[in-house]
Amino acid sequence: TLDEGARADLQGNANWMKANPSVRIQIEGHCDNRGTIEYNVALGERRANAVRTYMMGLGIPGDRLSIISYGEEKPLVMGDSDEAFAKNRRANFVPVQ
């Protein structure tokens, strides 16, 4: 689920995309290192899809939003603390050509 802060961030991203209609975005789904590789890849995909669906609800056409899941393969921070886990559970936006 998307919390209030995430929804606010995504609204800002949607506004930027509306102002830049030629830009396409790849949404990268990431998670922490708990769970199996298969589970984490699936979780990252669900996370990226949730963001894509929300962005489409904000008026961004689906053909401008692709997804990919990296699971636990590209952590933002290393470590096994709750803080590290939280930072690694994310969806990144990457412009594509």
Query: What is the spatial distance between Cα 16 and Cα 57, in angstroms, rounded to a whole number?
Result: 15
pLDDT digits (tens, 9 = 90+) for 12-38: 999 999 999 999 999 999 999 999 999
Overall pTM surpassing 0.85 (yes/no): yes
Residue among 30, 25, 29, 1 nearest 13 (CA): 25
pLDDT digits (tens, 9 = 90+) for 43-57: 999 999 999 999 999
